Structure 1
Amino acid sequence: MFQEERMQLIVEHLRKHNRISADDIVALFDVSRDTARRDLIKLEEQDAIIRTRGGAILPPPPQEFRSYKDRLLDVSEEKRAIGKLAAAIVRQGEIIILDSSTTVQACAENLNGKSCTIITNSIHSADLLSNHTAVQIRLLGGKVDKEQRYVYGTSVIETLSHYYVDKAFIGIGGITMDGFSASEEEGKIKHQMMKAAKKVVVLADQSKFDRRYGYRFADWSLVDVLITDQWPTKEWLVFLAEQQVEILIPEPTDDKEL
């Protein structure tokens, strides 16, 4: 088999399975590891893949900035389950930070009147929580993004630098083993939120794994807990164990009870 033909089949495999390892290439095409490595290098040079530790993934699609209202319409059951589990680990009396992501907003929806203090830049979450008399809300001040329904700017980052909180709940644009990425404006705020917290909890469904956005705002040293909707691959489990990150997975729901 010629290299170009094999490379095309590698990309097709990635489209079906999202990732491929060097061992997969060796087994699928009966080639040496050196040949598999050369194939991956050439595909990376063509911007067809992103190489990872031991394999490759497809590059993410062009970043699309939809309005917050549109993103709320697409909040999946997986994200809602992640948000519900995140709310369950909030303790009475805690001071917590909620960022402006839709997955974290699902956490706000499930706080169910817990007596706690919420610091957030999310206009939507602040409005939602205003109905809970037991919740104290501190909406950060700054410029308002009317489309994305959050507050941003240097004043937000400056104010966050003075806080010390129990937990920060952070939604992610993309996760790789190199760290976390989002848009630059959001990323700077998320980074400061993480620095302010005793415990950082990242909320991310499996679609965020092995995706990169334009701005890397934090690495794994800042993260204590990852809540996701299904168990990651063996490669990721090994990596997360090395990083000493606790993984929490929502229990499956029984559709018969719904």
Structure 2
Amino acid sequence: MYQEERLRKIREYLEQYKRISVQEICDRFGVSRDTARRDLVKLDEQGVILRTRGGALLPEKEVKSYRERLESAAGEKEAIGREAAGLIRDGEHLILDASTTVQAVAASLTAEDVTVVTNSIDIASVLADRPHVSVRLLGGKLHPKHRYVYGATTVAMLRNYRVDKAFLGASGITPEGVFYPDEEDGQVIRESLQCAGQVIVLADATKFHRRFFYRVCDLGSIDRLVTDQPPPADLQRALEEQEVEIMEVTPHG
């Protein structure tokens, strides 16, 4: 079988099952692991797949609603959120953005006398009953699908705060920087960067090499990346060049 035909069949498989491993390619097409990896490299160059450790995923074509995203990669997000929450010290002031992975930080928060600034109605709700957490919920226009507030009022309120750490999600991260699909949300994130002494981005492996409409920042604006898998080689190099610390966690279960 020629490579082009094999690539077409791999794409068809991914359309149905959303992911494929190197071993599955070897077994289905009777090729070596080196050949299977070359096929994945070719598909990656075409922008068709997202390469992962030992295989590939079919990238999502659009950002799901907040409730749908809560259920996607839940174990990975919980592990990332738990690790990130361990970075928070008693008495700190924080920004938590409206990411489902950042919501996992709120759920795992154990530090006391913490002040949280957020534009997420869900994160505010998670923290509402915590006696040792003070919440500042930003005002603005509500985005019903993604459950955050945004707009000129939100950005103006953010400018008045200075925090120790900002925990931010990412819809996509590439060597070019951090991407979001919506300019409105991206502008709130961009302002958050200016308020924080340390910027911590949380992103599971499905966010690697995903590029969206709005670039929030370059990698030099990030201090730390918390993720569940090593980034692809080119992204790893770009992060290291910008002295971004990479923390890799292992999901349980």
**In the alignment, does 2:197 pair up with 1:202?**
no
Cα distance in 2 for partners of 1:103, 1:252 equals 13
The aligned counterpart of 2:132 is 134
- The letter of the residue matching 2:145 is E
Corresponding residue to 2:115 among 105, 117, 123: 117
Cα deviation per residue 1:96-146 (whole Å; 9 max; x = unaligned)?
A: 000001000000001135221000000011111011111011000111123
CA distance 1:69–1:13, change in 2 (3 Å): closer
Cα deviation per residue 1:32-86 (whole Å; 9 max; x = unaligned)?
A: xxxxxxxx8xx98xxx438xxxxxx99944214x332232233510110000011
CA contact (8 A) 1:113 1:133 kept: no
**In the alignment, does 2:211 pair up with 1:212?**
yes
Q: Secondary structure at the match of 1:105?
A: helix
Corresponding residue to 1:173 among 171, 185, 188: 171
**In the alignment, does 2:156 pair up with 1:158?**
yes
Cα distance in 1 for partners of 2:155, 2:5 equals 46
Residue segments in structure 2 that go unaligned for 5+ positions in a row: 15-19, 23-33, 37-41, 49-55
Residue segments in structure 1 that go unaligned for 5+ positions in a row: 19-26, 30-39, 51-56
- The letter of the residue matching 2:159 is S
CA distance 1:94–1:233, change in 2 (3 Å): same
Q: Secondary structure at the match of 1:124?
A: helix
The aligned counterpart of 2:47 is 49
Q: Secondary structure at the match of 2:201?
A: strand
Corresponding residue to 2:105 among 101, 107, 112: 107
Q: Secondary structure at the match of 1:138?
A: strand
Cα distance in 1 for partners of 2:179, 2:83 equals 23
Cα distance in 2 for partners of 1:10, 1:223 equals 36
Corresponding residue to 1:74 among 72, 75, 91: 72
Cα distance in 2 for partners of 1:61, 1:128 equals 28
CA distance 1:128–1:223, change in 2 (3 Å): same
Q: Secondary structure at the match of 2:142?
A: strand
- For the aligned residue pairs, the C-alpha RMSD in angstroms reads 3.2
The aligned counterpart of 1:228 is 227
The aligned counterpart of 1:249 is 248
Cα distance in 1 for partners of 2:209, 2:9 equals 17
- The letter of the residue matching 1:193 is S
Kindly tell me the number of residue pairs found equivalent between the two proteins.
Answer: 226
Cα distance in 2 for partners of 1:252, 1:124 equals 23
Cα distance in 2 for partners of 1:231, 1:59 equals 18
Cα distance in 2 for partners of 1:154, 1:228 equals 31
Corresponding residue to 1:145 among 134, 143, 146: 143
CA contact (8 A) 2:189 2:216 kept: yes
Q: Percent identity?
A: 40
Offset at 1:12?
A: 6.4
Offset at 1:198?
A: 0.7
Cα distance in 2 for partners of 1:11, 1:186 equals 36
The aligned counterpart of 1:24 is none
TM-score normalised by length of structure 1: 0.76
Q: Kindly name which structure, 1 or 2, has the bigger radius of gyration based on alpha carbons.
A: 1
Cα distance in 2 for partners of 1:127, 1:112 equals 16
